[in-house]
Amino acid sequence: MRVVISIGGSVLAPNLDARRVEGHASVVETLAREGCEIGAVVGGGGVARDYIGAARDLGANEVQLDQIGIDVTRINARLLIAALGSQVDPKVPHDYEDAGDAIRRGDISVMGGVMPGQTTDAVAAALAEYVDADLLVYATSVDGVFSADPNEDDDATKFEEMTASELVDVIGDIEMNAGSSAPVDLLAAKLIERAKMRTIVLDGTDPERIEPAVLRGEHTGTDIIPEGGDEPTYWAQ
C-alpha cells in the first residue's frame, strides 16, 4: 500500500519538542515496517505564520510571504527527517519527481512546500496523485472537516464522510493568503476530486491516531469518499 501523509506544522512542531517529532517519526516507521510505502509532507504551522506575520508588517507581498512559508516547511521536513532512521531519503525533495523516485527506491520521502500560491495540503494531494497513492491522510489540528470553522462557530458539525466535491463547497470560501488555516486547502480539494483519491482528515495532535486509520480505516475524523471510485480495501485485511 502506498500512502501519503500530510503532517501539519501545528501538530508536528507546535513548539520545538523533540519527543513529539519522535512520536510522528515512530508512527511513520511502524507503517513502513508494516509494508507501506510512504511519502510525508510537512507543514509550517505557527512558526511559519509568525514569520509571515512579521514579514507582512514589513511590507512583503504575498508571494514573498509564501516563499518564507515554504522555507519554514522545509525546515520542519528536516526535523522529521532527523527523527527517522536509515530508511528515509535525507534530502528534502523540491519536486514530485525526486520524491517519487525516493519512494519507488523504497525510501520514506519527506517534502515541505514547493511553490507559492498554495499550502502543503496541495503538495500532499499532488504527490499522492503523482505516485498513484492508495490513500492520502491529513493529520491536522482538528478532527476532520466541519460545516464551519469549529474554532469560530460552536454550532459547526463534523462530516463523518463527504465527497470531494462537497469538500470543495465547504472550504471554497476560506481565504488563500499566505499563512491561512484550513483543514485541506482548495487546490488540494480539487486535486483530490480529479484524482478520485481516497482521503482521510483526522486529528494528528496524537500521532498514534494515524496508524489505525491507515491500516484499518479506524478513526474519528472525516472520510473523503471518491465519487465513482472503488470501495476501500484496507492493508491489514
Ligand X SMILES: O=c1ccn([C@@H]2O[C@H](COP(=O)(O)O)[C@@H](O)[C@H]2O)c(=O)[nH]1
Ligand Y SMILES: Nc1ncnc2c1ncn2[C@@H]1O[C@H](COP(=O)(O)OP(=O)(O)OP(=O)(O)O)[C@@H](O)[C@H]1O
Contact partner, 149, from ligand X, ligand Y, none, Cβ < 5-8 Å per class: ligand Y
The reply to whether 178 sits near ligand X by the rule CB under 6 A is: yes
10 is known to lie in a ligand binding site: yes
HSE of 234, CA atoms in CB hemisphere, 13 A? 11
State the Cα–Cα distance between residues 235 and 230, nearest whole angstrom. Answer: 15
Among 148, 157, 177, 208, binds ligand Y (CB under 6 A): 148
87 is known to lie in a ligand binding site: no
Side chain identity at 13, as an amino acid letter? Answer: A
118 is known to lie in a ligand binding site: yes
Among 3, 4, 5, 11, binds ligand Y (CB under 6 A): 11
Give the shortest CB-137-to-ligand X separation in angstroms: 15
SS3 label, residue 108: strand
The reply to whether 142 sits near ligand Y by the rule CB under 6 A is: yes
The reply to whether 93 sits near ligand X by the rule CB under 6 A is: no
119 is known to lie in a ligand binding site: yes
The reply to whether 141 sits near ligand X by the rule CB under 6 A is: no
155 is known to lie in a ligand binding site: no
The reply to whether 183 sits near ligand Y by the rule CB under 6 A is: yes
44 is known to lie in a ligand binding site: yes
Contact partner, 176, from ligand Y, ligand X, none, Cβ < 5-8 Å per class: none
Per-residue cell: 217: 480505516
State the Cα–Cα distance between residues 63 and 230, nearest whole angstrom. Answer: 39
Among 44, 93, 204, 221, binds ligand X (CB under 6 A): 44
Question: What phi-psi label fits residue 157: left (phi over 0), alpha (psi between -120 and 50 degrees) or beta?
Answer: beta
What is the number of H-type helices and E-type strands within the chain? Answer: 9, 7
Closest-CA residue to 48 (of 12, 83, 17, 24): 12
Which CB, 8 or 93, lies closer to ligand Y? 8
Per-residue cell: 175: 481565504
Task: Report yes or no: 76 and 12 within 8 Å, Cβ to Cβ.
Answer: yes
Per-residue cell: 173: 470560501
Read out DSSP for 137-172? EEEESSSS-BSS-TTT-TT--B-SEEEHHHHHHHHT
Binding site for ligand Y (CB under 6 A): 8-11, 43-45, 140-142, 145-146, 148-151, 170, 174, 181-183
Binding site for ligand X (CB under 6 A): 9, 43-45, 48, 65-66, 69-70, 73, 113-116, 118-121, 123, 178-180
